[in-house]
Amino acid sequence: MTRTYDLAVVGGGILGLAHAYVAAREGLKVVLIERDGAASGASIRNFGFITVTGQERGTSWQLARRTRDIWADLAPRAAIPIEHEGLYLTARSSEAVAVIEAFLNTEMGEGCRLLDAAAFRAASGGMGGADLMGALHSPHEIRVESRFAIPRITAFLAEQMGVTVMTRTAVHEVAPPRLATSRGVVEVGQVVVCPGDDFNTLYPERIAAYGLTRCRLSMLRLGNPGVRLPGAIMSDLGLVRYRGYGALPEARALEARLRAEVPRLFDNGVHLIVAQGTDGSLIVGDSHHYADVPPPFAPASAEEDILQEYATALGGPVPPVIERWTGTYAVAADRTFLIDTPAENVRLVIVTSGTGASTGFGIAEKVLADLAGLKVGAAA
Ligand SMILES: Cc1cc2nc3c(=O)[nH]c(=O)nc-3n(C[C@H](O)[C@H](O)[C@H](O)COP(=O)(O)OP(=O)(O)OC[C@H]3O[C@@H](n4cnc5c(N)ncnc54)[C@H](O)[C@@H]3O)c2cc1C
């Protein structure tokens, strides 16, 4: 059977959902097509941490601010609880404090502040390692439980936004007005392809031109530590890794110090994010290993390093591990996302920096302003 839509979105992860949401909100007739029975890629495996502070200065930081606002508006309408607001990033050396102070002096520091160790411990129910010197507090972040939020947004789009959701449907070929799928032809005016880190099904040559690779991350869920965290928590390894801080000149001295102190954590690409769910359990990660085809075999040392960093930054005892999983995402050396134009009425959109939950809605507005002429986001 042939069906007709203004816009087809390929991929049911957060990027695809963001495009479907913005397009439907602006009155387009939308079909969202997902290969699996439900999206089970990076978007449900992440922390659900919608991060503003720490995003790369300029475009990514601005897209994250816009994306956070859209999440804050959408979440209550889609019955998605906001599990946390704000970020606390701990510092345990004068070099880390220097990076935070430099960050606060940029435009990105607006609304953020440096807490002393006592203030962080008071806010976090007594958490904090022995050598804690202070913490950056950012009020801008929100956090959702992705394994719940992604299916909820999908259902909200279908039930309340008039989006047709086709699951268990692989798209083989994109040639509007014809989209060839494993369930037959779909007729469409325009198409946005959001394939995540599938580089081989649609537009493999175009994707290859960007020189992408993939990153595999190890993730853990720990038991309830018995305290309610005031927000998501990161350690000072994040000051080197996240480009909003890591690109500041002050980050070089911190990186040298941390590389000397904890070299294996750099080998495993470990930095610490701790986020708490409504049941009190903690999502804790992560590690970063890069390969075109990341082996599914994650080293036990990565998990040990994550738990070691938890103990160092937050103090003991470390709650028991109750779940473990890995996830992968696309990576480029030279950009945080890409928007490619295979044809006048088609866009290929890939987040290439592990920040899709934080920038996806802003990117979708940017893409659809260009592709469909919608007056949204910066174009409004
Ligand atoms: C462990 C982990 C932690 C992370 N933490 C965070 C975080 O806290 N904050 C943050 O902002 N980002 C985080 N990220 C990054 C973020 O999750 C990704 O950037 C984002 O999920 C990418 O979304 P996506 O929709 O592009 O890809 P995906 O979620 O991978 O979805 C792509 C979908 O497209 C479908 N698909 C592909 N090709 C076809 C086809 N031909 N036909 C039909 N369907 C197709 C796939 O089946 C898949 O469901 C994390 C990532 C990981 C792995």
Tell me the C-alpha distance between 230 and 90, whole Å: 13
Ligand 1: residue whose CA is nearest its atom 49: 39
Q: Say yes or no: CB of residue 202 within 6 Å of ligand 1.
A: yes
69 domain-assigned: no
Domain's final residue, options 295, 314, 331: 331
Strands 4-10 and 184-193: parallel
Out of 35, 182, 216, 339, mutate this one to test ligand 1's pocket (max ligand atoms within 8 Å of CB): namely 35
37 domain-assigned: yes
Q: Any idea which residue has 């503003």 for tokens? A: 52
Q: Say yes or no: CB of residue 195 within 6 Å of ligand 1.
A: yes
Out of 21, 46, 219, 347, mutate this one to test ligand 1's pocket (max ligand atoms within 8 Å of CB): namely 46
Note whether 255 and 228 are same-domain residues: yes
Q: Say yes or no: CB of residue 60 within 6 Å of ligand 1.
A: no
Averaged confidence pLDDT in the chain: 96
Tell me the C-alpha distance between 180 and 171, whole Å: 6
Out of 43, 84, 216, mutate this one to test ligand 1's pocket (max ligand atoms within 8 Å of CB): namely 43
Note whether 196 and 223 are same-domain residues: no
pLDDT tens digit sequence for 316-372: 799 999 999 999 999 999 999 999 999 999 999 999 999 999 999 999 999 999 999
Query: For residue 173, how many other CB atoms are within 10 A of its CB?
Result: 11
pLDDT band at 220 (very low <50, low <70, confident <90, very high): very high
129 domain-assigned: yes
Note whether 27 and 99 are same-domain residues: no
Note whether 362 and 236 are same-domain residues: no
Note whether 320 and 293 are same-domain residues: yes
pLDDT at 124 over 50: yes
Contact call for residues 142 and 82 (beta carbons, < 8 A) = yes
Q: Can you give the residue range of the structural domain that contains 365? A: 3-44+147-203+338-379
53 domain-assigned: no
**What value does the mean pLDDT take over residues 97-115?**
97
Strands 84-91 and 134-143: antiparallel
Nearest to 86 by CA among 53, 61, 63: 53
Note whether 250 and 131 are same-domain residues: yes
Tell me the C-alpha distance between 4 and 164, whole Å: 11
- Write the CATH number for 15: 3.50.50.60
Note whether 361 and 243 are same-domain residues: no
65 domain-assigned: no
pLDDT at 378 over 70: no
63 domain-assigned: no
pLDDT tens digit sequence for 172-193: 999 999 999 999 999 999 999 9
Query: For residue 359, how many other CB atoms are within 10 A of its CB?
Result: 32
Tell me the C-alpha distance between 34 and 179, whole Å: 13
Q: Say yes or no: CB of residue 11 within 6 Å of ligand 1.
A: yes
pLDDT band at 106 (very low <50, low <70, confident <90, very high): very high
71 domain-assigned: no
Residue 142 Cα to ligand 1 midpoint, Å, equals 18
Q: Say yes or no: CB of residue 15 within 6 Å of ligand 1.
A: yes
Note whether 233 and 192 are same-domain residues: no
pLDDT tens digit sequence for 270-284: 999 999 988 999 999
Residue 146 Cα to ligand 1 midpoint, Å, equals 11
307 domain-assigned: yes
pLDDT tens digit sequence for 44-60: 999 999 999 999 999 99
Ligand 1 atom index nearest CA of 215: 53
pTM of the model: 0.97
Q: Any idea which residue has 């720990």 for tokens? A: 222
pLDDT at 87 over 70: yes
Q: What is the tally of structural domains in the chain?
A: 2
Q: Say yes or no: CB of residue 61 within 6 Å of ligand 1.
A: no
Nearest to 285 by CA among 233, 239, 361: 233
Note whether 98 and 135 are same-domain residues: yes
Q: Say yes or no: CB of residue 219 within 6 Å of ligand 1.
A: yes
Q: Say yes or no: CB of residue 326 within 6 Å of ligand 1.
A: no
Q: Say yes or no: CB of residue 361 within 6 Å of ligand 1.
A: no
User: Would you state the pLDDT for residue 379?
Assistant: 64
Note whether 117 and 226 are same-domain residues: yes
- Write the CATH number for 256: 3.30.9.10
Tell me the C-alpha distance between 195 and 198, whole Å: 6
User: Would you state the pLDDT for residue 1?
Assistant: 46
Note whether 176 and 288 are same-domain residues: no
Contact call for residues 219 and 374 (beta carbons, < 8 A) = no
